[in-house]
Structure 1
């Protein structure tokens, strides 16, 4: 049975995949884990970065004796998967991304970090604040916000993967986007898809950026159809 590694996004955790796993476990040996600082995983001494998270994924693949893993990455998880495919192609068999923001500059980062203001979240979205606290306990969720803010600002200053980098990622890939995603643009997604030498592109209907609102049956169908 093939191995499938599910990578969560920024501020997320492996628990977000609980409803997806039953739809995949008949086809794959499914692996999930929390990136550094997320879902109760200990905080790293260094700053959050795509490089740091990718090294963590590579270590997991090695420690679990997986060989080459199939990877599904949601949002930042997809970016990590692509970076891993470029830097360590021997670790990745096939990759599917969903709702991954590939384009970063200082203006884009400045816009996105406005959504990571802990004070505003507590005042206007108390239920979300409580969700984040429970998700990342015992780590204070405000610390995760601060480290994620730093990550996005750094991406804005120097995008880890430039558009031309994707031309060298030969790993078979599917790049997916929800048609109602207000964070990720169709233009940036198509731009990356067109650079990838061995890729497919798809749009999920009626789908916003939030993973909890994704049609999981459709997503699982697409993942299995591509990776089997």
Structure 2
């Protein structure tokens, strides 16, 4: 029985992913601000936790749950994301901070509080973006989002090195465009080549087996160029 933590679990890739894990009879902690869609699933091995991960003190709830109920975490999927699509000169420091709080600082803090519960074979998978890959084609308006996705790539590389003797693996999936609610909100007219369930299936398989082959790596998961 594996214990899985997934952030950003109420819609898009995260919502599909928690259901795929549940079908394998794993224990799933599904984290989101809005947990209504998760609760409506009524799946016994999914626990929904309402958390605003942009608030550091709220992340203590994750620690408390794991300490009380699980004692160990096999897989952490840092999936939650925030996107602002706005010209750079109109993007305020506050908006940059809001994006970084979710996409970078929360990833760091959730990972940090769960470090004592990772054991040999645990796999931490952070969902980044092709926009965070150095040398990739960049889209105007995503200065905060894409730079934050670059930051978590470096963070994961560093953690893989720091914990390389523990048997815990840290990897990043830099995904291309996926048809999710977040994408539709930012780019209403854009149609992505992949659905949320298709990407969720890939992430599921990678989270279960990828740490046998990779640690401290970023894999580019995109069916288009750019």
User: Above 0.5 in TM-score?
Assistant: no
**TM-score range, shorter-chain basis?**
0.3 to 0.5
Write 1 or 2 for the structure with the bigger share of strand. Answer: 2
TM-score (norm. length: structure 2): 0.45
TM-score (norm. length: structure 1): 0.44
